[in-house]
Amino acid sequence: MDYHQSLAYLFGLQRFGIKLGLANIQTLLARLDNPERAMRIVHVAGTNGKGSVSAATALILQSAGYRTGLYTSPHLHSFTERIRIDGEPVSESDMVALVDEIRAVVGSVPVTFFEFTTAMALLYFKRKNAEFAVLEVGMGGRLDATNAVMPEVSVITPISHDHAEHLGADLATIAGEKAGIIKPEVPVVIASQQAEVERVLLTRAAEKKAPVSLWGRDFQIMEHARSFDFISSGLTLRNLSPGLAGAHQRENLAVALEVAALLRSRDTALSEQALRHGVENVRWPGRLEWWGGLRQVLLDGAHNRGGAQALARYLVSIGCGKVRWVVGIKGQRCPDDILAPLLPHTSCLYATLPPVDQGVEPDKLVQAARQSGVSAEVYSSPAEAMTTALAQRREGEIVLVAGSLFLVAAVRDYLMDRERTR
Q: Are 66 and 149 in contact (CB under 8 A)?
A: no
Q: Which helix (H) or strand (E) holds 289?
A: strand 289-291
**What is the distance between the alpha carbons of residues 335 and 331, in angstroms, rounded to a whole number?**
9
Checking if the pLDDT of 163 tops 90, the result is: no
> Lowest mean pLDDT: which of 15-29, 138-152, 337-351, 364-378?
15-29
pLDDT in tens, 184-228: 999 999 999 999 999 999 999 999 999 999 999 999 999 999 999
139-148 b/e (C-beta count within 10 Å ≥ 16 → b): bbbbbbbbbb
Question: In 107-212, which residue ranges form alpha helices assigned H by DSSP?
Answer: 113-127, 164-167, 171-178, 195-208
d(CA 28, CA 12): 18
- The arithmetic mean of pLDDT across residues 228-242, rounded, is 96
Residue among 299, 287, 244 at smallest CA distance from 414 = 299
Domains of the chain (ranges, CATH numbers) = 3-281 (3.40.1190.10), 289-420 (3.90.190.20)
Flag whether pLDDT at 240 surpasses 70: yes
Q: What is the pLDDT of residues 50-103, one digit of tens each?
A: 999 999 999 999 999 999 999 999 999 999 999 999 999 999 999 999 999 999
Q: Which residues pair with 83 in a beta bridge?
A: 71
- The model's confidence at residue 13, banded by pLDDT at 50, 70 and 90, is confident
| Neighbour tally for 166: CB within 10 Å | 14
Residue 113 exposed, middle or buried by CB count within 10 Å (0-12, 13-18, 19+): buried
Confidence class for position 181, pLDDT limits 50, 70, 90? very high
Give the helix/strand (H/E) hosting 129.
none
> In 169-300, which ranges are continuous DSSP H helix?
171-178, 195-208, 247-264, 272-281
How far apart CA 58 and CA 7 sit, in angstroms, is 26
DSSP one-letter string for 17-44? -----SHHHHHHHHHTT-GGGGSEEEEE
Kindly indicate the confidence band of residue 421, based on its pLDDT and cuts at 50, 70 and 90: confident
CA distance 356 to 167: 21
